Amino acid sequence: MKLSVIMPVFNTKAEYLTVAIESVLAQSFSDFELLIADDGSDDTCLECLKKYDDQRIRIIRNEKNLGVSVASNLALEAATGEYIVRMDSDDFAYPERFRIQTEYMDAHPEVAVCGTACKKMGTDQVYPFLRNDIPREVLQVRLLLGNISLANPTVIIRRSILADHDIKYDENIRYSLDYGLWVDCIRFGEIKVIPRILLEYREHEGQVSSAHKREQKECRDYIRSKQLEELSAGLSTDEWTEFLKLPEFRSMIDLDLLDSLIKKIEISNRKNRIFDEAVLHFECMRWWGTAIRKQKRFIRKPFNILINPRTWEMISPRALSYVFRYRRISRDNACS
């Protein structure tokens, strides 16, 4: 079996679910199994699933709702394909999606995860997608701050990466599951995006991104905290509070605390070798530079900033070459 398509389902409207399933069954690439992980849906949803008489479909059912992470992991355990394809139960996949992604993965054995461009259903609004010229080492560091522009329902994943390294969805969280998976997968392979629209996503009030924004943020913070725990950075409560401000820089950053947490992160990384040391250093300088630009205190007390060696290091030839190299892609992994 070449592909195992995983589709978690929980009380999806019948008309949405029908569109999603039939877009999978209509793929030009036919060597796949569709594993529908029904997470305790109501009878209406179950009746919709039962109407399909196709040997490629397998329904894995939880009698009660246990969460999308549990349902997805059950489907992963049952999967037999060389690649895992992710599909949401309310989206629409273009007929060539599976063929194009399979051919890409076959041609690029270094790639662990491959997404595609996608657009909002019924519009020309394209979801921001990751540029392929961002080195893996840079992406790995940027995942410290939050998710990357990789649409979860568009991805194909090399199953051997998951199996060989015991990677699965974290069942302690209900939201931002993809973020946690990318953090684990990027250690063992590249993450790329085919810049071609191969899926249309449906936006409605019932979906996670609309209904559970606060819970999503809490889950993202949990994933970020796990990365720092592995790094053994030992941040204080105040430093952790400042770290949580970094992704969007919407709140005032305490530069003294930022300087302290950067030092701790870099020192811990030298011991544990989680991130590329040079890339981490320069990404930390980007944090520092952005924090300075957001500071009202720069006008009031410029001396404290100007005497900090980190400020002068930002304009060193080595630092400027790094900034110049990645100037176009510095915000491509905006948190979502």
Separation in Å, CA 209 to CA 86, 206, 212, 215, 308: 17, 9, 6, 10, 40
pLDDT in tens, 244-256: 888 877 677 888 8
Per-residue pLDDT at 164 exceeds 70: yes
pLDDT at 334: 38
- Asked if residue 136 has pLDDT above 60, the reply is yes
Residue 255, amino acid = L
Distance CA(181)–CA(264), nearest Å, equals 25
pLDDT in tens, 34-44: 999 999 999 88
Q: How confident is the model at residue 296 (pLDDT cuts 50, 70, 90)?
A: low
At residue 244, what is the residue type? L
Q: Model's pTM, two decimal places?
A: 0.88
Res 329 pLDDT > 70 = no
Asked whether 311 and 288 are in contact (CB, 8 A), the reply is: yes
For 42-53, write each residue's pLDDT tens digit.
988 989 998 999
Lowest mean pLDDT among 100-109, 211-220, 268-277: 211-220
Least confident of 85-89, 162-166, 272-276, 279-283: 279-283
Interior angle at CA 174, CA 23 and CA 190, nearest 5? 65
Region 13-19 average pLDDT: 95
Q: Which fold has domain 3-211?
A: Spore Coat Polysaccharide Biosynthesis Protein SpsA; Chain A (3.90.550)
Question: What pLDDT does 308 receive?
Answer: 65
pLDDT greater than 60 at residue 303: no
pLDDT grade, residue 207 (50/70/90)? low
Q: Which residue has the higher pLDDT, 335 or 297?
A: 297
Q: Which of 130, 215, 230, 223 is nearest to 180 (CA)?
A: 223
**pLDDT computed for residue 174 by the predictor:** 84
Where are the domains positioned within the chain? Answer: 3-211, 232-329
Q: Is the pLDDT of residue 330 over 60?
A: no
Q: Looking at residue 107, what is its pLDDT? A: 98
In this prediction, residue 314 has a pLDDT band, given cuts at 50, 70 and 90, of: low
Task: Count CB atoms within 10 A of the CB of residue 206.
Answer: 13
Query: Percent of the chain beyond pLDDT 90?
Result: 66
What Rg do the C-alpha atoms of the chain give, in angstroms? 22
Token pair 């924090």 in the structure block, residue: 291
Q: At what angle do helices 255-272 and 213-231 cross, to 10 degrees?
A: 50
**For residues 18-22, average pLDDT:** 97
Residue 307 predicted with pLDDT over 70 = no
Nearest to 94 by CA among 198, 12, 201: 198
